[in-house]
Amino acid sequence: MATEQKYVYSFGDGKADGGATMKNLLGGKGANLAEMTNIGLPVPAGFTITTEVCNYYTDNKQQYPPELKSQVETALSKTEKVMGAEFGSKTNPLLLSCRSGARESMPGMMDTVLNIGLNDETVAALAKQAQNEAFAWDSYRRFIQMYGSVVLGMKSADKKDEDPFEEILHHAKQSAGVQYDSELSADQLKQVAANFKQAIKKQTGADFPTDPVEQVWGAIGAVFGSWTNDRAIVYRRDYGIPHEWGTATNVQAMVYGNLGDDCATGVGLTRDCSMGLPGFNGDYLINAQGEDVVAGIRTPKRIEKTLGEDAPEAFQQLQNIGKTLEHHYKEVQDIEFTVQRGKVWMLQTRNAKRTGFAAVRIAVDLVNEGLITEQQALEPRRIPADDLSQLLQPIFDPTTKAEAQQQGKLLAKGINAGPGAASGKICFHAADAETAFEEDPNVQLVLVRRETSPEDLRGMRIANGILTAFGGASSHAALVSRQMGKVCIVGCSELNIDYHEGTMRVGDTVLREGDWISIDGFTGEVFEGQLATSPSEVVEVLIHKTKSPEESETFQRYQQLMKWADNARTMAVRTNADQPDQADEAIAFGAEGIGLCRTEHMFFDHLDEIREMILARSADVRKQAVDKLLPFQREDFAGLFRAMQNRPVTIRLLDPPLNEFLSHRHLSEQPELAETLAKSIGTTPEAIHQRIDELHEENPMLGHRGCRLGIVFPEITAMQARAVFEAACIVKKEGIDVHPEVMIPLVGFLTEFKNQEEIVRAQAKAVFEETGITVDYLVGTMIEVPRAALCADQIATAAEFFSFGTNDLTQTALGMSRDDYGGFIGFYQENDIIGADPFQTIDRDGVGRLMKIGVEGGRSTRENLKLGICGEHGGEPASVMFCHEIGLDYVSCSPRRVPVARLAAAQRALMP
Ligand code: PEP
Ligand code: MG
């Protein structure tokens, strides 16, 4: 006979059917109740019904597998035996709790029912046993209230109405003249219970069930059903928890924290999870039930401050339990407990959620305390690599932020493009930011734009943060902000910006230039008003040098951790930087080279010359204009080479569509521009307009950009290549072993590459001959269009390296504009059409597949082909891990993402 499938796992009296490794089946709570029982901690007996039953229940119109009933009966009688009480007994009743528990915790999203088993008869027995009638009736009325709302669906008819039970309770307290529930007498509570039952009958038409067995099955059904309630579904979507996991249900004997002053209930942490300080801490309430701590009716007391005086024995037991748990789980635990007549009972333990600060401190401390190894400290579940960025950016104090949220100051949410917290006065124009800065170098501004363009760069440098209404995670605003280490939110489509009026509207709220706003680049939230920020100590030590390493424990632990990460990783980490200051910052953060210098960023400071070049109608005139740029470029490159010393520096030739530098939009936003340009090149404003008309493209992102510019205008490539090699020779002469890598953008055809390569190599040869100095250099390409990935074998016959430009590769592979997807991606994500934002996390199935083809193709014709990535994904942990998997040599990302990438690369290298 086939053995029956096991759906119910018992625990109690030092023995459990399950254990901590069975989270998938028993949920986190169930697995850990079993584990705690097995390691001898005091856990009230009970049983866990598996997540498989939840899925069965959801898929089979709320029916259970036929075997379940008898398995629950057997488990229940085991529980009765261990607890020495009987479910439904009129003399010695066992009462039960019924709680949800999924594989990962989903705090408050699903349902719970406590005190199951109470009815008019068992309540009398409970009163007698506890010698406390008020306690028994308070438990009973709580049960009716919870069961009524969770199982029987008694909610207020209108969302503006009060909860029907709370209303009855409120009246009872009013007529008794008391403030708290706990002050009601047994008789008054009896009346409350009767009124509750009456209300249930009136609203649902059914009597409140008095049969304990019916009650427990009702509660089990409600808990399984709550897996598919709205808030649970939304939560899962937000946290990427699969709907198919299901929840387990835990049925467990009740223990009471509200039998008197030798009882308590609380939640605790084995160490602080906000900053990571050691020591047991948490909240408790004397003489209360679990939900009172979270409900906020009474203000809980702090365990570490007063429990030692209020309940010294329980405090000691808790500290010992905390140590046992940390030694056993080798992780900080977040627990729920009840103290019943001086004895601590454990109701839950799980790995504690923590901030990035606490994560680093705790992981490093656990190594230093000998509990875990350096490699374990690096595990992503201990320190999600992204959380490291909390250590590198100013942040909002969490309570200040929560208060602002409560006060209705949260205005809107956009795409979180640059982490950190920034507050400042609204400024709509970069030029105004510059003026304000000249008047007051300490001015605090947030630059608010529909979108940003090259001319906004100086304003962006001054602003504390950047907020745009349009654009996505790889838009100009996003990638420039990240490179500058600025807080940035893009694609905040609820903003209605009127430059002429100088206003920013969100719904009915109108904010004006000069009004304060605060933006949280970790979450994409925009707040009205000024929220205080605190600076990053790591940045104070590494970049501003306003603190010494000895003064900052945060820095010391960061440094320890990064050393372990560097020992573990196999992939190099470079940075995307265009300027020596960015390069210096990136080196301080551990960058091993430059993976992308976008040379157009250097042109932003020389817009006059580049506009002259764009307006030129002949190659001669264009060459004259282009040559004016040569000295600037040379100086910029020399600066970068000096900053980077002997590290490799990848310089990409001009890439963006020229209309980013000059278009009708520029002319309309700067009314004097046409006139000025006309004067400087000796023509008329009309001719300027006409030329811009000629250059207009419907779809510039797919137009005349990338290598197509250098192919049609070879003088641009020649000038840039010459500037690179002249700079390299100058710096080499100074004694630095420079390694330039010239990169051709947006190549799709081998012939495109060869065309540009020839110009580059010719310039190198000429410069080496002129100077008598030679430098080692490489010529390679970006892989940014599907054709390049598919024809990588051909391209690699000439290209010495590939760098995946995943911003464009995502755009071209998905046919999704990197500037316009902000308008619909939120809807896509909310409706489960797409998971992660593909411009932030590599779309493995599509873009990732192209990358793999590119890697394999490239290495098939050039074995030692150097491979990297320089799209924005290069600093995103899941994408960094993917790059490791497909065998890239390096990732390149903005300076402040470098530590995140180092950690993510190490984490992937350590995985099997
Ligand atoms: C890319 O496309 O991924 C890239 C790095 O180039 P850019 O963002 O400058 O187009
Ligand atoms: Mg690109």
Res 758: pLDDT = 98
- Between the CA of 745 and the centroid of ligand 2 the distance, in Å, is 7
| Confidence label for 188 from pLDDT (cuts 50, 70 and 90) | very high
The secondary structure of 11-45 as a DSSP string is EETTEES--GGGHHHHHHHHHHHHHHHHTT-----
The torsion angles phi and psi of 488, rounded to 5 degrees, stand at -150, 135
- Between the CA of 890 and the centroid of ligand 2 the distance, in Å, is 17
118-152 burial, b for 16+ CB within 10 Å, e for fewer? Answer: bbeebbbbbbeebebbbbbbbbbbbbbbbbbbbbb
- Between the CA of 474 and the centroid of ligand 2 the distance, in Å, is 10
- Between the CA of 808 and the centroid of ligand 1 the distance, in Å, is 6
Tokens of 481: 């902000």
- Between the CA of 738 and the centroid of ligand 2 the distance, in Å, is 25
Nearest to 337 by CA among 36, 683, 9: 36
- Dihedral (C-alpha) 870, 875, 879, 884: value to the nearest 10 degrees? 80
DSSP 409: -
Span 715-744, pLDDT tens digits = 999 999 999 999 999 999 999 999 999 999
Cα separation of 477 and 483, whole Å? 10
The answer to whether residue 865 scores a pLDDT higher than 70 is yes
Res 633: pLDDT = 94
Looking at all shown ligands, the one closest to residue 596's CA atom is 1
CB atoms within 10 A of CB 370: 7
Res 185: pLDDT = 94
Ligand 1 atom 6, closest CA: 805
| Whether the Cβ atoms of residue 132 and residue 260 lie closer than 8 Å to each other | yes
* Pocket-testing residue among 452, 453, 474, 804, ligand 1, by greatest number of atoms within 8 A of Cβ: 474
* Pocket-testing residue among 453, 600, 650, 870, ligand 1, by greatest number of atoms within 8 A of Cβ: 870
| Whether the Cβ atoms of residue 802 and residue 858 lie closer than 8 Å to each other | yes
Residue 476 falls in the annotated catalytic set: yes
The answer to whether residue 246 scores a pLDDT higher than 60 is yes
Cα separation of 452 and 330, whole Å? 48
Query: What ranges in 589-682 are assigned the alpha helix state H?
Result: 599-603, 607-615, 619-644, 664-669, 673-681
- Between the CA of 743 and the centroid of ligand 1 the distance, in Å, is 12
Looking at all shown ligands, the one closest to residue 869's CA atom is 1
Given the residues 488, 870, 883, 893, select the one marked as catalytic: 870
More confident residue, 796 or 696: 796
Q: For the chain, how many residues are written? A: 912
Range 750-764 average pLDDT: 98
| Whether the Cβ atoms of residue 895 and residue 586 lie closer than 8 Å to each other | yes
Res 835: pLDDT = 86
Range 266-291 average pLDDT: 86
DSSP 847: I
Ligand 1 atom 4, closest CA: 805
Q: 370-384, 491-505, 565-579, 837-851: which has the minimum mean pLDDT? A: 491-505
The answer to whether residue 296 scores a pLDDT higher than 60 is no
More confident residue, 360 or 485: 360
- Between the CA of 13 and the centroid of ligand 2 the distance, in Å, is 63
Ligand 1 atom 9, closest CA: 598
* Pocket-testing residue among 782, 802, 809, 816, ligand 1, by greatest number of atoms within 8 A of Cβ: 782
* Pocket-testing residue among 576, 652, 808, ligand 1, by greatest number of atoms within 8 A of Cβ: 808
∠ CA 544-548-551, nearest 5°, is 125
Looking at all shown ligands, the one closest to residue 870's CA atom is 1
* CA 667, 673, 675, 677 torsion-angle sign: negative
Residue 98 falls in the annotated catalytic set: no
Radius of gyration of the chain (CA): 33
Q: Which atom of ligand 1 is nearest to the CA of 598?
A: 9
| Whether the Cβ atoms of residue 626 and residue 716 lie closer than 8 Å to each other | yes
Specify the pairing of strand 866-869 against strand 801-804. Answer: parallel
- Between the CA of 600 and the centroid of ligand 2 the distance, in Å, is 12
Ligand 1 atom 1, closest CA: 805
Nearest to 889 by CA among 593, 562, 561: 593
Ligand 1 atom 8, closest CA: 807
The answer to whether residue 160 scores a pLDDT higher than 70 is no
The answer to whether residue 829 scores a pLDDT higher than 90 is no
Q: Which atom of ligand 1 is nearest to the CA of 873?
A: 3
- Burial (CB < 10 A; 0-12, 13-18, 19+), residue 900, is buried
| Whether the Cβ atoms of residue 223 and residue 110 lie closer than 8 Å to each other | yes
Nearest to 393 by CA among 294, 530, 512, 534: 534
- Between the CA of 846 and the centroid of ligand 1 the distance, in Å, is 18
Res 718: pLDDT = 97
- Between the CA of 284 and the centroid of ligand 2 the distance, in Å, is 55
The answer to whether residue 637 scores a pLDDT higher than 60 is yes
Nearest to 596 by CA among 474, 737, 468, 732: 474
| Whether the Cβ atoms of residue 833 and residue 785 lie closer than 8 Å to each other | no
Element (H, E) at 520: strand 516-520
Numbers of helices and strands, H then E, in the chain = 37, 34
Looking at all shown ligands, the one closest to residue 805's CA atom is 1
Q: 306-315, 617-626, 702-711: which has the minimum mean pLDDT? A: 617-626
* Pocket-testing residue among 655, 707, 781, ligand 1, by greatest number of atoms within 8 A of Cβ: 655
Span 104-128, pLDDT tens digits = 888 778 999 999 999 999 999 999 9
Q: Which atom of ligand 1 is nearest to the CA of 479?
A: 8
Res 393: pLDDT = 86
The secondary structure of 729-770 as a DSSP string is HHHHHTT---EEEEEE-S--SHHHHHHHHHHHHHHHHHHHHH
Q: Which atom of ligand 1 is nearest to the CA of 870?
A: 5
Nearest to 717 by CA among 682, 746, 759, 687: 759
Share of the chain above pLDDT 90, in %: 75
Q: Which atom of ligand 1 is nearest to the CA of 805?
A: 3
| Confidence label for 471 from pLDDT (cuts 50, 70 and 90) | confident
Ligand 1 pocket by Cβ (under 6 Å)? 474, 479, 596, 598, 655, 784, 805-808, 870-871
The answer to whether residue 581 scores a pLDDT higher than 60 is yes
The secondary structure of 343-357 as a DSSP string is EEEEEEEEEPP--HH
Query: What ranges in 270-370 are assigned the alpha helix state H?
Result: 290-295, 308-310, 312-329, 356-368
| Whether the Cβ atoms of residue 337 and residue 265 lie closer than 8 Å to each other | yes
| Whether the Cβ atoms of residue 299 and residue 309 lie closer than 8 Å to each other | no
More confident residue, 610 or 512: 512
The answer to whether residue 238 scores a pLDDT higher than 80 is no
Tokens of 391: 């250590």
Element (H, E) at 788: helix 786-790
Cα separation of 151 and 114, whole Å? 12
Q: Which atom of ligand 1 is nearest to the CA of 576?
A: 5
Map residue 573 onto helix, strand or coil.
strand
Ligand 1 atom 10, closest CA: 808
- Between the CA of 166 and the centroid of ligand 2 the distance, in Å, is 59
More confident residue, 656 or 474: 656
Cα separation of 97 and 113, whole Å? 6
| Confidence label for 601 from pLDDT (cuts 50, 70 and 90) | confident
| Confidence label for 37 from pLDDT (cuts 50, 70 and 90) | very high
| Whether the Cβ atoms of residue 486 and residue 393 lie closer than 8 Å to each other | no
DSSP 4: P
Nearest to 626 by CA among 750, 554, 721, 736: 721
Res 275: pLDDT = 77
- Between the CA of 480 and the centroid of ligand 1 the distance, in Å, is 11
Q: 156-165, 210-219, 566-575, 780-789: which has the minimum mean pLDDT? A: 156-165
The answer to whether residue 589 scores a pLDDT higher than 60 is yes
Res 282: pLDDT = 87
Bridge partners (DSSP) listed for residue 333: 351
Res 355: pLDDT = 79
* Pocket-testing residue among 482, 575, 705, 784, ligand 1, by greatest number of atoms within 8 A of Cβ: 784
Looking at all shown ligands, the one closest to residue 810's CA atom is 1
- Between the CA of 872 and the centroid of ligand 1 the distance, in Å, is 8
Ligand 1 atom 3, closest CA: 805
Looking at all shown ligands, the one closest to residue 474's CA atom is 1
Look-up of token digits 């906020």: 296
Given the residues 54, 263, 476, 873, select the one marked as catalytic: 476
pTM of the model: 0.82
CB atoms within 10 A of CB 240: 9
Mean pLDDT across the chain, nearest whole number? 93
* Separation of CA 377 from chain center: 20
Looking at all shown ligands, the one closest to residue 819's CA atom is 1
∠ CA 254-186-294, nearest 5°, is 45
Cα separation of 287 and 699, whole Å? 69
Element (H, E) at 252: strand 247-253
